[in-house]
A = this chain, B = another copy of it.
Amino acid sequence: MPLIDQFTTQYGLVRKIDAFGYLAQLNSDSSLERKHGKVVLVTADTPLKASRGEGKTTTTIALIDALRAKGIDAAAVLRQPSMGITAAGSKGGASGGGKASLTHPELVDWGLCGEMTAIAAAQNLLVSFAEKAVDEGLLDTILTPRVSEVPSRSLRQIAVDYGKGNVPERVVLTPTSELMQIVVLSRSMAEIGERVAAMIAGTKDGKPVKYGEFIDLWRITNILLDAVKPALTETQAGSPVYVHCGPFANVSIGIPSLVSVEMACALHDVVVVEAGYGADAGAQKWLDIACRDYGAQWPSAAVIVTRATTWRDDPALSWRYPFHVQRLEGLDIPTFPLINLWEGEDGEIASLRETAKTLEFRDPIIGNLFRDGGDALGDQLGGFIDALQNGETPAQPHSHRGMSLTENAKWVAEHAYGVPAERVLLKDGFSASLAQARDLCADAGLYLDELAFVAVKSPAVMTDNDSAPEAEHTVTLKKVEVHAGAGLVQVNLTTSLTTPMPKIV
């Protein structure tokens, strides 16, 4: 029996895998059989609006189906869609479409095995314990927001204890929560416990108080017993797809759990990791947070998805797609443009290739993936497979930990958004917010600059005004929020609004 089977249990129509247990076993015995799969990053152009997807999941599914049809052991790792979004209709499903679909997309779209809701319950239970700590005089203020798996405009600003205390609070969507970040980044239940204990619950007399000072950790970790296990499902063509945690790269880190990718790499030769929304969000976070700061594998290739129309529907934004391609190529990641055609666009292939040549891209991969699935890609993957099989060993990138927060923000603005340091602006109040965060960390025994930098912004913009001439692009830094347990510092940037709690549409 393969080792992985000992850590796999059926869970309705999917299987759940104890990735923590499997990886611990592998790490404890180097003689055990395992693969050393390479990571391929699938990301996309920056969307014209948050609700308009380019087709990352559809591409991911078609890509592994096409690779497996060629005898290559490929698998995909997807983030679990936020049920609130898929059920509430703003994006529809988030599990591919047409011939590039999962066998049971309804499961993935509608709550899978309760992972999101378990994480929500755990974070909300922390808030309830903090509330009790306030009653007992251990805390004055609570810094952890409540979360909801269901979007609701009116929950953005609430008052609890209404009519008595009128304590202002905010409710954010589950995938944006610090607990979700902790599950994504941790490699054992013990690490989850340590990180939860290190979360700053709030302050007492202005000084930070951590959850570890007043809660029983097992009350939280028990809720997560099943939620920490990635789910294994498959495409309609039978290719393996792991689904675990972490959408919402706009206001959080937007990447699947690190252990789901590491487990997949031990089991398959090629592991396609989806990171969105656009390359400026999910891919930036995979590279600059997961790889640089948390030891995830640097991609051996990347695919950047776009639609034929995205280049044209807003000419003022057409600079973004080539920017993304060149950025990843500049990091020595072989980067393949993929144009996901819609019905009636087959006739445009020649002109799209021409445009790609003008832009000095690699040969683009073009197909109607909804209609044709992996068959659309089969004869176009030569260069891609060559890059994977004969490319260099993945890089060991330098961590950004220790770089000052403002320098880090400028680095990201320059490299991921194309805005030079001198055009990174500080909004009124940013410096005070930064100083407050720095003090909070210092009082908690942490050094702010040792936290990994998380950009928080609208998924549809890279700068304060993407439509402005390039020389006028700016990025405004607005405020700082510490997630000490996850080891992250979040910085809101660009003048656009961010919405950690969407409304249903």
- A404 lies within 8 A of chain B by Cβ: no
Q: Considering only CB atoms, which chain B residue lies closest to A170 in the complex? A: B162
Contact of A128 among B132, B151, B219 (CB under 8 A): B151
Is A422 located at the chain interface by the 8 A CB criterion?
no
Query: Could you say which of B13, B113, B165 contacts A154, with CB atoms under 8 Å apart?
Result: B165
Would you call A10 and B9 a contact (CB within 8 A)?
Answer: yes
Say yes or no: A12-B13 contact (C-beta < 8 A), given A148-B124, A158-B159, A163-B157.
Answer: no
Which of B111, B128, B156 interacts with A121 by CB under 8 Å?
A: B111
Check A9 against B16 for contact (C-beta < 8 Å): no
Do A12 and B125 touch across chains, with their CB atoms under 8 A apart? no
Is residue A83 contacting chain B, with contact meaning CB distance below 8 A? yes
Cα distance A149–B123 when bound, in Å? 11
Interface residue A131 (Cβ < 8 Å from any Cβ of B): yes
Residues of B within 8 A of A167 (CB): 154
Our pick among B114, B129, B151, B164 for the contact of A117 (Cβ within 8 Å) is B114
How long is the Cα–Cα vector from A120 to B113 in the complex, in angstroms? 14
Q: Could you tell me the distance between the alpha carbons of A415 and B164 in the complex, rounded to whole angstroms?
A: 39
B150 lies within 8 A of A157 (CB): no
A504 to B225, CA, bound (A): 21
The interface-forming segment of A24-32, A84-92, A380-388 is A84-92
List the B side residues contacting A157 at CB < 8 Å: 160-164
Contact of A124 with B150 at beta-carbon distance under 8 Å, contacts A159-B162, A504-B129, A504-B132 already known: yes
Q: How far is the CB of A28 from chain B (nearest CB, A)?
A: 24
Alpha-carbon gap, A223 to B157, bound state (A):
26
Q: Interface of chain A, helix or strand or loop or mixed?
A: mixed
Q: Give the distance in Å from the alpha carbon of A27 to the alpha carbon of B463 in the complex.
A: 63
Q: Closest CB-CB distance, A34 to chain B, in whole Å?
A: 25
0 or 1 for each of A91-117: is its CB under 8 Å from B? (1 = yes): 000000000000000110111011001
Q: Residues of B contacting A165 with CB < 8 Å?
A: 154
**Given A11-B10, A110-B225, A160-B158, also A219-B152 (CB < 8 A):** no
Q: Which residues of B contact A225 (CB under 8 A)?
A: 106-107, 110
Query: Which residues on the B side are within 8 Å of A111 (C-beta)?
Result: 114, 118, 121, 223, 226
Contact with B along A114-146 (1 / 0, CB 8 A): 100110110011011101100100000000000
> Does A70 sit within 8 A of B, measured CB to CB?
no
Cβ A89 vs Cβ B152 within 8 A = no
CA distance A10 to B11 in the complex (A): 6
* A168 nearest CB neighbor, chain B only: B162
A158 contacts which of B88, B89, B158 (Cβ < 8 Å)?
B158
**A150/B162 contact (C-beta < 8 A), A114-B114, A222-B87 known:** no
State how many angstroms separate the Cβ of A163 from the closest Cβ of chain B. 5
Q: Once bound together, how far apart are the Cα atoms of A114 and B89, in whole Å? A: 22
Q: Give the chain B neighbours of A114 by CB distance below 8 A.
A: 111, 113-114, 117-118, 226
Is A268 an interface residue, CB under 8 A from the partner?
Answer: no
Of the listed residues A131, A165, A168, the one surrounded by the most CB atoms of chain B closer than 10 A to its CB is: A131
A12 nearest CB across to chain B (Å) = 5
1/0 contact string of A403-417 vs chain B (CB within 8 Å): 000000000000000
- Does any Cβ of B come within 8 Å of A204's Cβ? no
How many angstroms from the CA of A288 to the CA of B165 in the assembled complex?
41
Chain B residues whose CB sits within 8 angstroms of the CB of A327 once the complex forms:
none
By a CB distance below 8 angstroms, the chain B residues around A152 are 124, 127-128, 131, 160
Q: Which of B110, B161, B163 contacts A223 (CB 8 A)?
A: B110
| Given A12-B226, A114-B111, A161:B154 Cβ within 8 A | yes
In the complex, the 8 A-B pairs of residues with the closest C-beta atoms, listed nearest first: A114-B114, A117-B117, A154-B160, A10-B10, A124-B150, A154-B161, A159-B162, A110-B222
Please name 12 further chain A to chain B contacts, defined as beta carbons within 8 Å, in addition to the given A88-B129, A111-B223, A131-B504, sorted by A numbering: A11-B11, A11-B113, A87-B222, A106-B225, A113-B226, A117-B120, A124-B152, A129-B504, A131-B153, A131-B154, A132-B504, A154-B161
- Could you show 27 A-B contacts with beta carbons less than 8 Å apart? A9-B12, A10-B11, A11-B11, A83-B121, A83-B223, A84-B125, A84-B128, A87-B121, A87-B223, A88-B128, A88-B129, A89-B216, A106-B222, A106-B225, A111-B118, A114-B226, A117-B118, A121-B150, A124-B149, A124-B152, A127-B152, A128-B504, A129-B504, A132-B504, A154-B167, A159-B159, A159-B166
